[in-house]
Structure 1
Amino acid sequence: MKVSVVEVGPRDGLQNEGKILSPELRAEFCKRLSKTGLSRIEAVSFVSGTRVPQMAGAEEVIRALGDGDKKTRYVGLILNERGYDRLRDTGLKEARFAFAATETFNLRNQNASVAQSVSTARKIIARARTDGIRLGVIIGASFGCPFEGYVDPGKVLALAEQLAEAGADEIIFADTIGVAVPRQVKYLIREAQRLGKSVGAHFHNTRGTGIANAYVALEEGASVLDASIGGIGGCPFAPGASGNIATEDLVYMLEEEGIETGIDLDQLISVARWLQDILEHPLAGQVYRVGRCVPSISSKPAG
């Protein structure tokens, strides 16, 4: 079994931090992550720097990255066509369009109804196909909303079906506020397999279920898992939404389960420790504090 781990620390991770990093330092962060073997890094978000100052200067970050490591694909997050225009002009070849599955959250986050966001997604998917840009869609609040409570999985699947039919390359179900449990994840990911698209998941560890959810998602056929170095992150527009599952915690679990990631865990741990110094506070992740188990349990008999 193989899974693609997408690092979202430079975007989702930093957007909830009190300390604002310069575009140059954010580019350095991405470069360090690229050396760990990560194949995709969500590097920037093309949103208003006034509303989310942590993400200001996305174009400067991309310029500072230059050609970078050819083995790493940098991805930009967008919320509207203006964001897509900005991303396209940087030369990035992969984008993720995000919106929320509930009306209240989507209105607060994007000033649009869910139907309006789906319509925008359709337009951007068509444009991306013409421009040769890979376009994934993230459905936020797929399991629960801070304003409307639990979300009907049938509604989420109906949205995913519309986006798949429109030609999205990838569908990501995001547990934006960290309320999901394995039972919910199992159902949503299993049912999404019929879409015939690459299906992934984005988990937050707000209530301690993130890694368990990731494991179940894999069992049900998810081919993509988002994670954030050190477990940093959260949504500034979702009250109480804390960090993502930590990349190094996820990679440790996958590695010990014999699941291929192509990522160097020791280098990940090194980046997490560097980031702790940069942000000047302990991170939420656990493995970066203690390192891997030596000798690895994978070398021991089962039982």
Structure 2
Amino acid sequence: MLETSARLLRLLSLLQTHREWAGADLADRLGVTPRTVRRDVDKLRELGYPVNASPGTGGGYRLGAGARMPPLLLDDEEAVAVAVGLRTAAGNGVDGIGESSVRALAKLEQVLPDRLRRRVNALNTFTVPLLRAPGASTDPGVLTELAGACRDKERLRFDYRDHSGSVSRRTVEPYRLVCTERRWYLVAWDLEREDWRTFRADRITPGPPHGPVFVPRAAPAEDLAAYVSRGISTAAYTTHAVVRLKTGIERAAERLSPFAGVLEAEGADSCLLRTGAVSLDVMVVHVMMLGFDFEVVEPPELIDAIRRARDRLSRAVD
């Protein structure tokens, strides 16, 4: 009986770490016959694990989604990663997830071996989180709905509130969700505008039913993270600029958030930043606050605005 239970746990672990297993491969890994594998799969099903089987020479076994959440098997590193992630989840801009994270963490820590519990406690005891100021957060239910539409390739309808508070009705073909340090964004093809658009998830109010199913278009960019960064830091503004930062791109990327602009490698000791602002005066403050020496590449009007700011500052300290 103990040997059978150990084999079932081993089988479950294999099913959770591979997309699909051939029956012969499972039998070889477990050191049993394919018939025994079939019996063990039936026992897992009786325990509530939805193991799907496909017939034929190319078929096999796959752990599917069921009506309820079955127990999961985690190795040591996965368990530590999940525990630490749950402790910090409340600070990641998703509204209402804090209480759920605490409940899940309590269940996980109850079964953690002492050696893993000490590792998790050490990480949390000697780590001080620097939390951001309260801001716009995203309903996790909305994120789940958006992700499901992306996965199922279903047209999505929602009300969208822009930065001025105006609300418009949108019908889109959702492509991907992109998460920055503070916000979530939906990248989608806007059917009415016939172009790609980036939507802040916290401004979306879904309006089901969704559908029909669509054939996905080619991605708007190979690097979606850079595409969204360009949209939220440059394209959304009327005033654009390119400045050369007197530092390498790796150091600049460590200091600047995606909201600062889009970085381009240039040399070992310099890089270009493409950015945007609501006006030239705001752009002056923006580039001054970057924390690096710089020179203006374009537009020339920004140089004049910097000179005017310099003169005002000089008069203020005279």
**Greater strand share, 1 or 2?**
2
Output the TM-score relative to the length of structure 2: 0.26
Output the TM-score relative to the length of structure 1: 0.27
RCO greater where, 1 or 2, for CA within 8 Å and sep 6 or more? 1
**Bigger Rg over Cα:** 2
